[in-house]
Amino acid sequence: MSEHEFVVIIPQEQIINRIVLLRGEKVLLDVHLAEIYGVETRALKQAVRRNADLFPEDFMFTLNEQEVDTVVSQSVIPSKQHLGGSTPFAFTETGVAMLSSVLKSKRARQMNIAIMRAFVALRKALLNYTELSLDIEDIRKKINDYDKNIELLFQYLDELLEKKEEFQLPRESIGYKLKQRNR
């Protein structure tokens, strides 16, 4: 790297905040990737179109009108005008990895590493969230079982008390008996 060349590293949180869920996939939009890679969106799209065979549907897809409306309404992008009139591309994690073979700059390679790390961090966070949710559900079930068991215990105690009252025979007093004197 020459002394005039430097790479700006984007914080992982900024990358994670740009990952959206579309068609059941976590994706990054072309406008955000272009910004991260430091290239124009049209240049990124042009490179992808030249190498279309490297981007099957599970790597990259074009958003439909409803999906564009969704990303605008979720403030992923400020407005449709932000797209410059073109339909955005959405890149899955594997599609982003493939971009490194199309965009050959040093910055693109370094940003790809940062993006891959962001996807891994997101996956770990999701796994931790899932484990936590399962633990909470397990605790809820246990508490529910405890409530049922306590309720059953009280029910048994009530039944025992009822039986005790039913089967209680009159008993003679135990101990000294005082004779009553006639006066």
The pLDDT averaged over each successive group of 10 residues in the chain (183 residues) is 50 78 88 85 90 91 87 70 76 85 74 76 73 76 77 82 68 71 65
Which pair of tokens denotes residue 131? 């484990």
Looking at residue 167, its pLDDT comes to 64
DSSP code per residue over 3-14: TT---PPPPHHH
Q: What predicted TM-score, i.e. pTM, was given to this entire model? A: 0.56
Which residues are bridge partners to 29 per DSSP? Answer: 90
Concatenated DSSP letters for 63-103? --HHHHHHHHHTTSSS-GGGGTTSPPEEE-HHHHHHHHHH-
Ordered structural domains, the chain, with CATH: 12-129 (3.10.260)
Q: Taking Cα atoms as reference points, which of 46, 45, 163, 38 lies closest to residue 112?
A: 38
